Amino acid sequence: MLNMMKKMWGFSVQMLILIGIYQVGNQMVRIFHLPIPGTVIGIVLLFLLLSMGVIKIEQIEMAAEWLLKHLGFFFIPISVGMMTIGSVLVNKGLSFLFVLIVSAFIGLISAGKATQSVIMKNEKEKVNYRDHVL
């Protein structure tokens, strides 16, 4: 019982740290009129704090992993909003869907292929270099 309460307390503190960083990101965007969204600043900020050792990974890991496990959930209420543009989607839905699917597939394949071929090329060069040294 005590153990569980301790765990819940720890979880809440971790959550508050993440919410705090998110709010700092939002405020920075507002104050400095940055053209970047607050969440992006928040990611960079948390990464820097972790790298500098200001925040230890254990101090946020439990809450962060729980949030990431359920990341998909937070998109559901937003995606339910599609019911408001139902008529547009019914009229033009198929042609929209066609464009979205084709362009997504083209993007997925070219991003994946490009990344993989650069990785392969670099690794091959490293092997050749090592051969040369030997």
Partner 1 sequence: MITFYSILLTLSVYIFARFIAAKYSSPLTNPVFLSTIVIIFLLVISNVSYDEYIPAKKMMTYLLGPATVALAVPIYKNRRLLAKYYGAALVGISIGLVTTIFSAIILGYCLQFSRMVILALTIKSVTVPVATEIGRILNGNIPLIAAFVIITGMIGAMFGAKLLSLFKITHPFARGLSIGTIAHGIGTAEAVKEGEVQGAVAGAAMGITAVLTSFIIPYGIDFFI
Contact status: 106 vs partner 1 (CB under 8 A): yes
Examine residue 13 and tell whether it contacts partner 1 (CB under 8 A): no
84 binds partner 1 (CB under 8 A): yes
Q: Which residue of 51, 90, 130, 131 would you call a contact of partner 1, by CB under 8 A?
A: 51
Q: Which residue do the tokens 């960083």 mark?
A: 21
Q: Which of 69, 90, 132, 134 binds partner 1 (CB under 8 A)?
A: 69
Q: Does residue 54 touch partner 1 according to CB under 8 A?
A: no
40 makes contact with partner 1 (CB under 8 A)? yes
**Residue choice 65, 91, 124, 125 for contact with partner 1 (CB under 8 A):** 65
> Which residues have CB under 8 Å from 59's CB, separation 6+?
14, 17
Closest of 49, 46, 39, 97 to residue 71, by C-alpha = 39
Q: 């292929």: which residue's tokens?
A: 113
> Does 27 engage in binding with partner 1 (CB under 8 A)?
no
Q: What would you measure as the largest C-alpha separation in the chain, in angstroms?
A: 68
Name residue 14's amino acid.
Q
